[in-house]
Amino acid sequence: MKIGFLGTGLLGSPMVEKLLENNFETTIYNRTTEKLQPLVKLGAKQGSSFGDVINNSDIIFVVLADYNAVNLVLFDENVCLNGKTIIQMSTIAPEENVALSEETVKAGGKFLEAPVLGSIPQIKAKELIVIAGGDEKLLVELKPVLNSFTGKYVFAGNIGSASAIKLSLNHLIASLTASFSLSLGYLREQNVNHEIFMDILRASAVYAPTFDKKLGKMLNRDFNNPNFPLKHMLKDVNLMLDAFGKVNLDTAQLEGVQHIIKSGLNMGLENLDYSSLYNAVHLENK
């Protein structure tokens, strides 16, 4: 069984490491070739192009930036998808995964929609949550491979359903982070001991673990070594606004979060952890 992996960024690289640890022959490609070298040293094969990886693999993981990138790679004129299995993990809209699936099947391939919840620590601990859409039998067939970095699966239903769940989860991540930033910023401006607030919060129904996860970063204003950078959160929020708006939802709250994130990017925070939006909410020396 030959594995292909397209996109070796923050999520892709540790996934490839786990595949290699489990002795899967894995060929990789990334337009930024420097990102490939640490994985090549671990035993991965370096493809000459995206098409080269697809054409010479049986199962292909796709973890790219957006729908346009995925579409361009999968349906290049030099790519043959006949007999291939595509595991599409990029965060895109439901209708986009439906379109990719239909084209893949027309070309003779199989398609599993499989966005994930979690990041580098969860991959290393094999606790990444895979949210699958499509053929449940295909998910079962792929578990020996997916078990390299996860043991947690949720089958959502038809293609598109997993994407809808992923967007809804990412909406909560963005909104909770922005809301917590505002509460914490206010307390600090009022010179209130934040631990009193946190003790109350932790015992309440409105507590979310992400608050403690990001608290230290916000208190120290240290957002280096991101598992998910702020610029990627903006991409997802833009995607949510488009998707939610199409089904007649009032997105005013999310538009506010988008405004905060854009302010963060204007401050040069794009490559820092997404919790750096705190700096856009609570300006230093204000």
CB within 8 Å of 253: residues ≥ 6 apart: 175
Q: What does the pLDDT read at residue 33?
A: 84
pLDDT at 32: 82
- Per cent of the chain over pLDDT 90 is 95
**Model confidence pLDDT, tens digit, residues 107-117:** 999 999 999 99
Mean pLDDT for the chain overall = 96
Q: What is the torsional sign of CA 230, 232, 238, 239? A: negative
Query: What is the DSSP code (8-state) at residue 7?
Result: -
Distances, alpha carbon 28 to alpha carbons 48, 249, 284, in Å: 9, 40, 42
Reported confidence tier of residue 35, pLDDT bands at 50, 70, 90 = confident
Per residue in 238-260, pLDDT (tens digit) is 999 999 999 999 999 999 999 99
Distance separating alpha carbons of residues 191 and 222, to the nearest angstrom: 20
pLDDT of residue 1: 87
Whether the full predicted model's pTM is greater than 0.75, yes or no, is yes
Region of 3 on the Ramachandran plot (φ > 0 left; ψ -120 to 50 alpha; else beta) = beta
Enter the tokens of residue 89. Answer: 């993990």
